[in-house]
Structure 1
Amino acid sequence: MSTHLDLLTGDAAAGLLDAAVATAGGELVDWRVRQVDHRPGSTTTVAYRATVRWGGVERSETLGASVGRARDGRKPGVVTLSDGDATVAVWRFPGDPALPALPRAFDPAAVEELLAGLGIGPAERAHPELKVRAYRPTRRAVIEARAEAARVFLKVLRPRKVADLHRRHDLLSRAGLPVPRPLGWSDDGLLVLSPLHGTEMRAAVRDAGPIPSPLDVLDLLDRLPAEVRDLPRRPAWSESAEHYAGVIGAALPAEAGRAADLAGAVRTRLAERGTGADPTHGDLYEAQIMLTDGRITGLLDVDSAGPGHRADDLACLVAHLDVLSLVHGSESAQARYAARMRGLAADYAEGFVAAPGGRGVDERDLAARVAGVLLSLATGPHRVQEQGWQAATSRRLDVVAGWLDGSRLVPSGTGRA
C-alpha cells in the first residue's frame, strides 16, 4: 500500500489530526476515516469524522488532510505538518483550502446576504437553515439553504471550474432540460442553483416504485441540445478504466494484476468504436434522475456534459444499478434485493440494446462500457472505508469480469414490478 495511504489512514493519522486540532485550541477525542481519494503518483486526500473537545464541550467535526498539494499549506486555517518524509495539510470543515467559497456557503449570515442580493430571500431577514448534502474534500460540496420563502442549492467547486459549470446549466436549462436553473455565481467557486421537483430515482429503485422505461431514458438523452457537442470533451468513466485499475492496485495489491487485465480488456473493446460525438450527460445514474410518479422530472449534476458516446451514459446507469446488488443487509433481504437489482440492470441493458427505430446500442460495446464504469465503482469500498472493503472490492471485480465475458447480461425478469 502507498505510504501516503498509510500515513493518512493508519495509526499515524491520529498524531497528525491531534496536532492540527491542538493548534486551534481543541483536543482530539476520537476519529475515523470517512472517505479516501487516492491518486497514485499525485495526491492523497482523506476526510475524517472526529470528536473534538473545545473548552470542555465535545463536538462532532469533519476534518480533512491531504498530501501532494503543496500550496494548500499557505491557506488561512490550514495546518501544515510533516512526518519527515511527507508534508500534510490538515483543515477543519468548512476551511477546505481548495474550495475558498465553502466557508461563505456554510455561514448562515453570509447566505442570508447572498439570497437577499439575488432577490430570492425572505421578506423578513432571517438566517437560512443550511444542510450539507455532499462533500468531497478539495473537489466540491453541495449545501442546501432553506429560508421561509426560499430554497436553493449552493454548489461549491474549485474557482476555475465555476464559469464552465454555470454555462452548462444555462445551456441545458434554456434548451428545456429539467436541470437546476443557475441563479448566480461568483469567481471564488460558488454556484447558486434552483431546486428540482420530485424524488430521486434511487428511492424508487430501492422501494420497488414506478421507474422510467429504457425508452424514457433514451427520450431524455434525445433532448440534449446539439450545442453540448461544443462543450469541452471529458473522458468517460470507461475511458479511465486503467486509472481506476491503478487506484485499486495501490490500495489492494493482491488484485492489482486482475484489475489491470480487466482495464486492458475494456480499453481494447473501446478502441473498436473510436471517439464519439453524441451529446451526453457524462454521469447518468439513478441518483442523478428525479421522478414524479415514475416520470422523469429532473436531471442533476451536469458537470460532465459534453461530446461522447451515448452508450457511455446508458452504461453508467446500468453499472450503478448492478453495483447496488452488492450492498449489505440481512442475508435473506439482501438476496432478494440483489436479485432485483441485478435483474433491473440486465433489463435496462436489454432495453437499450433492443430499442426500436435504430436507437439501440451494440450489446458488446455496451457491456464493455458497463465494465469500465464498474471498475471506477470498484474503488468505492476503499474510498468510503467500508468494513471488509478488500472482499467488497474483489466482488466488484468479479462483476466487471461478468460483463466482459457476457455472463452478466442475462435478463432475469425480476427487475421490474
Structure 2
Amino acid sequence: MLGRMTATSAPAHVRDLNILLGESARDLVHAVVDATTDDVGGVNSVRPTSVTVRPSGDTLVRYAVEVRRRDTTVVRETLVAATGSLVPRGAAIVAGDLDGESVEVGLWRWPHDPALPGLSHVVDRDRLGALLARAGVSPEHPPTVRVQSYRPGRRAVLAITAGSDRLFAKVVPPSELPGLRRRHELLASCLPVPRLLVTTDDGLAFMPALPGTSGRAALRQGHRLPTPEALEDLLDRLPPALTTMPARSDHRRRARHYGAVLALTVPEERDRVTALAGMITEADAGEHPVVPVHGDFYEHQLLTSAGAVTGLLDIDTAGPGERLDDWANLLAHLAVTETPRARDWEREILRHVHEHFHPKQLRPRVASTVLGLATGPFRTQRPDWMARTRQRIDLAERWLDRP
C-alpha cells in the first residue's frame, strides 16, 4: 500500500496523467523496485519514455529507470505503470488516496508484462534455446536478442541473431494469437509475408527475417522506391478470405478518438481538435466496396530492394475495409515525414490515387490519420512534443481543406 499520492489538483479525467507523469511517479517506481529487488541502494532517475492515454483519462506510462545497487553499480530497468482499463490482470496494484479519492495503479517491470506472458520466454536463455530448436535453429553460440519495439500490454517485437540465422519474435496477448496465425496462413501463400516457424499458446510467434530494406530507411537513404503501380499490385493480391476477419474502426470513429486524446494531452487545443474531429466525421468520404486491406499500410511496413517489394510486415490488422483507407494511411505517414524524397514519393502516389478516387473522399481519411499521428510526439515524450503536435494538427487541417 502506498501512502498519500501527490499531484496537482485537476479534473478526474486528467488526474491519472498527473499521477503518472508528476512527482508521484518517482514514489510509484520506488515502491515496485523496493518490493522486488533485495539490494537496492536507491533510484537515480525515472524518465517516462512512452505514454498511452485513452479518452476516459486511463493512462499507461513506460519508464526508463536507473537503479543504484548497494555496491554502487547502476543498472537500467524498464518499468510500467497503468490506471483504469489499461491495467492488465495480474499486475501488482499500488493503492493510495488523492484529495480524498481512492486511486489504484497497476505496475510491472520488463519483461514480466502480465498481458504478454510469452515475453519472458524470449529473454530466458534456456527457453529461447528450446524454442529455436523447434524452429530448426541450433546455433553454436548463445543467440543475441535485441528489442525492436515494446508497446506495454499490447505487443513486443524482438530481433534474434543465432549464428547465420536471423529471426523475429512477435509477442501478443494470447487471445490475439489465433488471429495472427490465421492471417499469416492466408497471406504467406500469395504475398512476401513470413511464415510462422513456431507459435506458443501464451502469445509468442517466431518468424524468419525477410530480405530488403525498410521503406522508411529507403526513403532516408535515397534508395529506389516501389512505384504506385507496384503497391497497387501488392494490395490487389491480398486474399479475399481476409474479409472474414474482424474489421478495424473506420476513419470517422478514429478521428473522434484521436481528438478526445489530444484534448486531454494538449488542453490548449481542445476546441480546435474537437472541431477538427467533428469536421472529419461529417465530411463526405463516399461509399466504397469492402475489400481485403492491410489496415496499417505505410512505408515502414514494407521491405524493398531496387524498387521491388520484398516483404510486407505487421499484418496484425489485415482484414475487411476500404482500399482508399490503405492509401490514405500511407499518404498521411509520408506527409509527416520531413524529407524531400518523402515529398516526391507522396506526390507520385497522390497522382495515382487521384486517378482512381475523388480527392474529396481521400482528404478526410488522410486528415484522420494525421490527427492520429499528432498524438505521437506526446506518446513518445519528445522534448519538443508540443510544437510537433501543433504542427501535425495544422497539417490535418490543411489536408481536410486541401483543394
* Range with bigger deviation, 53-62 or 188-197: 53-62
Structure-2 residue corresponding to 1:23: 35
> Alignment partner for residue 133 of structure 1, among 143, 148, 154?
148
Structure-2 residue corresponding to 1:293: 306
Aligned-pair RMSD on alpha carbons? 1.9
Where does structure 2 lack aligned partners over 5 or more consecutive residues?
A: 1-9
* Range with bigger deviation, 205-214 or 113-122: 113-122
Is structure 2 residue 192 aligned with structure 1 residue 178?
yes
Query: Take 1:284 and 1:236, find their aligned partners in 2: how far apart are those partners?
Result: 14
- 1:344 is displaced (CA, Å) by 3.2
Alpha carbons of structure 1 residues 251 and 29: separation in structure 2 relative to 1, 3 Å? same
Q: With the length of structure 2 as denominator, give the TM-score of the two structures.
A: 0.90
Q: Classify the secondary structure of the residue corresponding to 1:86.
A: strand
Structure-1 residue corresponding to 2:369: 373
Alpha carbons of structure 1 residues 276 and 248: separation in structure 2 relative to 1, 3 Å? farther
Structure-2 residue corresponding to 1:165: 180
Query: Take 2:209 and 2:250, find their aligned partners in 1: how far apart are those partners?
Result: 27
Task: Name the aligned partner's letter for residue 185 of structure 2.
Answer: D
Structure-1 residue corresponding to 2:258: 244
Task: Name the aligned partner's letter for residue 319 of structure 1.
Answer: A
Structure-1 residue corresponding to 2:7: none
Structure-2 residue corresponding to 1:394: 390
Alpha carbons of structure 1 residues 158 and 88: separation in structure 2 relative to 1, 3 Å? same
C-alpha contact 2:239 2:292 (8 A) present in aligned 1:
yes
Is structure 2 residue 129 aligned with structure 1 residue 115?
no
Q: Classify the secondary structure of the residue corresponding to 1:98.
A: coil
Structure-1 residue corresponding to 2:240: 226
Is structure 2 residue 354 aligned with structure 1 residue 350?
no
- 1:72 is displaced (CA, Å) by 4.0
Is structure 2 residue 84 aligned with structure 1 residue 68?
yes
Alpha carbons of structure 1 residues 230 and 114: separation in structure 2 relative to 1, 3 Å? same
Is structure 2 residue 41 aligned with structure 1 residue 49?
no
Alpha carbons of structure 1 residues 262 and 54: separation in structure 2 relative to 1, 3 Å? same
Is structure 2 residue 326 aligned with structure 1 residue 313?
yes
- 1:71 is displaced (CA, Å) by 6.5
C-alpha contact 2:336 2:392 (8 A) present in aligned 1:
yes
Between the two proteins, the alignment pairs up a number of residues equal to 384
Query: Take 2:90 and 2:235, find their aligned partners in 1: how far apart are those partners?
Result: 44
Alpha carbons of structure 1 residues 15 and 276: separation in structure 2 relative to 1, 3 Å? farther
C-alpha contact 1:319 1:345 (8 A) present in aligned 2:
no
Task: Name the aligned partner's letter for residue 377 of structure 1.
Answer: L
Q: Taking every aligned residue pair, what percent have the same amino acid on both sides?
A: 38
C-alpha contact 1:106 1:143 (8 A) present in aligned 2:
no
Where does structure 1 lack aligned partners over 5 or more consecutive residues?
A: 326-336, 355-359, 408-417
Structure-1 residue corresponding to 2:4: none
* Range with bigger deviation, 234-243 or 102-111: 234-243
Alpha carbons of structure 1 residues 42 and 97: separation in structure 2 relative to 1, 3 Å? farther
- Alignment deviations for residues 125-164 of structure 1 (CA, whole Å, 9 cap, x no partner): x431111010001110001111124322111111100111
- 1:341 is displaced (CA, Å) by 3.1
> Alignment partner for residue 97 of structure 1, among 114, 128, 136?
114
Q: With the length of structure 1 as denominator, give the TM-score of the two structures.
A: 0.87
Alpha carbons of structure 1 residues 29 and 79: separation in structure 2 relative to 1, 3 Å? farther
C-alpha contact 1:121 1:149 (8 A) present in aligned 2:
no
Q: Classify the secondary structure of the residue corresponding to 1:20.
A: helix
C-alpha contact 1:238 1:370 (8 A) present in aligned 2:
no
Alpha carbons of structure 1 residues 274 and 296: separation in structure 2 relative to 1, 3 Å? same
Query: Take 1:403 and 1:20, find their aligned partners in 2: how far apart are those partners?
Result: 45
